[in-house]
Amino acid sequence: MSTDPSPSEPEVEPSAEPPEQEAADEGAPLPKRRVWVVFAVAALLWAIDLITKNLVVADLEGKEPKPILGGLIYLQVIRNPGAAFSMATGMTWVLALVAIGVVIAIVWISRRLRSVGWAIGLGLVLAGALGNLTDRFFREPGPLRGHVVDFISAFAPNGEGFAIFNIADSAICVGGALIVLLSLLGKDYDGTSSRGKKKESA
């Protein structure tokens, strides 16, 4: 019987690359979460909307439209019981509940946001929803029935050139348009591109 020791199994050398590098080789790392962008944009625009409404109510309510920018814009206070641009008049409490639902949905989805563009767009929509919702809770005639303060009349007074609106309405429209544009370009809210995914699967 041989007394020579049995040959040992060859040792497996550890991988020279760290796990992070190996993960990066398998696919590009995801961008950082952008929750703070949503709430920073929302807070800024919400504050601007609230300040401008309070200023025009204090200075212009009950007065004639005030032209600025050579008559491109007229400032006048209108109490709007409807939705943006004076639509859905008479459904104030329903619109308030819809706005609450929009706020909750944006807060929920913001936890998974990794796209700066989506974060800005949702922040603008959140600011607009909060701005008009604030009016519906705290202005006359009462909670969930409060009338929204509109004060920007473009091109002509009294909404003759375009519907009278406010900063919150503008934020909702710009944010919504940005989100639609990003969707058309294939940019997803999680920082990935749906076009890139389609190419890989093809």
Our CA dihedral for 181, 187, 191, 194, rounded to 10 degrees, sits at 160
What tokens were used for 9? 């199994």
Is the sign of the CA dihedral 123, 128, 131, 132 positive or negative? negative
Three-state DSSP class for residue 121:
helix
CA-to-CA distance for 171 and 25, rounded, in angstroms? 40
Type of residue at 157: P
For the question of residue 150 being annotated catalytic, the response is yes
- The catalytic residue among 4, 135, 169, 188 is 169
Q: In what order do the strands lie in the sheet with 73-80?
A: 66-68, 73-80, 148-154
- With a CB cutoff of 8 Å and minimum separation 6, the contacts of 163 are 85, 86
DSSP bridge pairs for 73 = 68, 154
CA-to-CA distance for 190 and 30, rounded, in angstroms? 8
- The catalytic residue among 25, 135, 150, 188 is 150
Asked if residue 118 lies in contact with residue 37, where contact means CB atoms within 8 angstroms, the answer is: no
Among all residues, which ones are annotated catalytic? 150, 169
